[in-house]
Amino acid sequence: MPELIAKPALGAAPVTHAGTTLAEADLPQMTAIAPWPGQAEAVGRALGLQFPLPNAVTEAGGTRLVWAGRDLAFLIGGVAPEGLAAAVTDQSDGWVALTLSGARAVEVLARLVPLDLRAAQRGQTFRTALNHLPLILIVEGEGDFTLLTFRSMARTAWHEVEEAMVKVAARAL
C-alpha cells in the first residue's frame, strides 16, 4: 500500500455552461504501445484488438486502443501483456483527462480545435492541438468527448475550455 498520497492533476469540480459540462476524469491505466516495424497486426492480436489506423480507436470490453501517432497507440484501461512485439511505456501519470459533454460541446471545441467535429463518431480520435496545447481528442459519442493533454498543462487546458464554454453560453442566451 502506498503511504504517499496520490493527487489528481486538478482536483476540479465539474462546471456546466449552457447545458454542456466540463469535468476532470479519472485516467485509468494508460500505456503507450509502439510496435516494432511490421508488428502492428501481431501486437493487435496479442491485445485482442485491432491495431488502430490513423485517427481510429478500437475497443473491446473496457479496453481501448487509441491511435496516437506514427507506429503508436495508447492502450487505455488494460494492461499490456509481457513479451509484446512493441515498446511499452507507462503513460498513466503523464496526462490529464477532461470530459466535455453536452449539446454545445461541438460548438465549444470549434473555438479550440481546428477540426470539423460536427459528424464525429465514437471510434474516432484526433491528435491535434487545443489552442497551443497538445491534445489527444477521443470521440465518446455525439456531443461527448474526452480530451487528453499533458498533465502539467491541466490548469491551462481547463481555463481555455471553460473560457470557450462561457462565451458560447453567452451567445446562446
Partner 1 sequence: MRIDGKGRIDRTRPVTFRFDGRAYAGYKGDTLASALIANDVRVVGRSFKYHRPRGILTAGSEEPNALVEIVGPANQTPNTRATVQELFEGLAARSQNRWPSLRYDALEINDLAALFLSAGFYYKTFMWPRRFWEGLYEPLIRRAAGLGSLSGRHDEGVYEKAWAHCDLLVIGAGPAGLMAALVAGRAGADVILADESSEPGGRLLSDDGEIDGAHATDWVARVLAELASLPNVRLMTRTTVTGAYDDGTYGALERVGLHRSPRPNLPRECFWRIVAKRTVLAAGALERSVAFEDNDRPGVMLASALPSYLNRYGVVPARRVALFANNDSARSTARSLMAAGVEVVAIIDSREDAPDEPGIALHKGAQVIRARGRMGLREIMVRAGGREFRVEAECLGVSGGWNPSVHLTCHLNGRPRWSDALAAFVPVEGAVPGMLVAGAANGSFSTHGCLAAGAEAARASLAALGVAAGAVELPQAEDAPYQIAPLWAVPGKGRAWLDLANDVTVKDVALAAQEGFRSVEHMKRYTTQGMAPDQGKNSNVAALAVLADATGRGIAETGITTFRPPYAPVSIAAMGAGGRGMGFAPQRILTSDQASRDRGAPMVEAGLWYRPGYFPKPGETTWREACDREVMMVRCSVGVTDVSTLGKIEIQGPDAGRFLDFVYTNTFSTLPVGKVRYGLMLREDGHVLDDGTCARLGDQHWLMTTTTAAAGLVMRHLDFVHQAFCADWQVRFASVTESWAQFAVAGPLARDLVTSALGHAPDLPFMGCAPVVVQGVAARLFRISFSGEEGYELAVPTRYGEALFRDLTARAETMGGGLYGMEALNVLRIEKGFITHAEIHGRTTAFDIGMEKMVSGKKDCIGKVAATRAGLVGPEREQMVGLMPLTGSVLTAGAHLFAQGADLVRENATGYVTSVGYSPTLHSHLALGFLKNGRARHGETVRLVDRLRGVDVLCTVTDPVFHDPKGEKLRA
- When the beta carbons of 10 and 23 are compared against partner 1, the nearer one is 10
- Minimal distance, residue 38 CB to partner 1, in Å: 9
Distance CA 84, CA 106 (A): 37
Q: Residue 109: in which H helix or E strand, if any?
A: helix 105-109
CB of 14 to partner 1, least distance (A): 19
**What residues from 10 to 69 belong to the interface with partner 1 (CB under 8 A)?**
32, 34, 36-37
77 binds partner 1 (CB under 8 A): no
Q: Which residues between 118 and 157 bind partner 1 (CB under 8 A)?
A: 118, 131-133, 150-156
Which residue carries 461541438 as its cell? 106
Which residue stretch of 2-10, 45-53, 56-64, 137-145 sits at the interface with partner 1 (rule: CB under 8 A)? 2-10
Residue 4's identity, in one-letter code, is L
Residue of the chain from 57, 120, 124, 160 that contacts partner 1 (CB under 8 A): 160
Choice between 91 and 101, CB closer to partner 1: 91
CB-based contact 66:125 (threshold 8 Å): yes
Q: Which of 54, 81, 114, 141 binds partner 1 (CB under 8 A)?
A: 114
Dist CA 150 CA 170 (whole Å):
29
**CB of 77 within 8 A of CB of 29?**
yes
From the list 66, 82, 80, the residue with the least C-alpha distance to 138 is: 66
- Write out the E strands in the chain: 15-17, 20-25, 30-35, 57-60, 63-69, 72-76, 86-90, 95-102, 125-130, 133-141, 144-150
Nearer to partner 1, 26 or 61 (CB): 26
> Would you tell me which residues interact with partner 1 (CB under 8 A)?
1-8, 32, 34, 36-37, 70-72, 86-95, 110-111, 113-116, 118, 131-133, 150-156, 159-160, 163-164, 166-167, 169-171, 173
